[in-house]
Amino acid sequence: MGRGRQKAKATKQARDIKYYSPNTDYSALQRELTGPGSRATSHFADDPVEPDYSAYVDKYADDVEDDDDEVDSRRIG
């Protein structure tokens, strides 16, 4: 086969693959996306519970204020 015929055949095959659209089974797709059981809600629907740090605010409030003083006392050079 010459180069022209080979290229034409490759182009035809590429076009066939590009525009190929198989029949889609939408009910199977929905079952797959829904997952096990009939529950359609997300696993991430509940917001994560943030820990309560209010007990530490008074204990460490002085440490946070002291950090600014340490930055000013450093020498550069």
pLDDT per residue over 11-56, tens digit each? 999 999 999 888 889 999 899 999 886 555 556 667 778 888 888 8
Residue 53 forms part of a structural domain: no
- Its pTM stands at 0.29
Tally of domains in the chain:
1
The answer, yes or no, to whether residue 10 has pLDDT greater than 80, is yes
Residue 15 forms part of a structural domain: yes
**What domain range includes position 21?**
1-35
Q: Please, is 68 exposed, middle or buried when counting C-beta atoms within 10 Å of its C-beta (0-12, 13-18, 19+)?
A: exposed
Residue 24 forms part of a structural domain: yes
Q: What is the rounded distance in angstroms from the CA atom of residue 19 to the CA atom of residue 67? A: 64
Residue 13 C-alpha from the chain's centroid: 35
Q: What is the pLDDT of residue 27?
A: 92
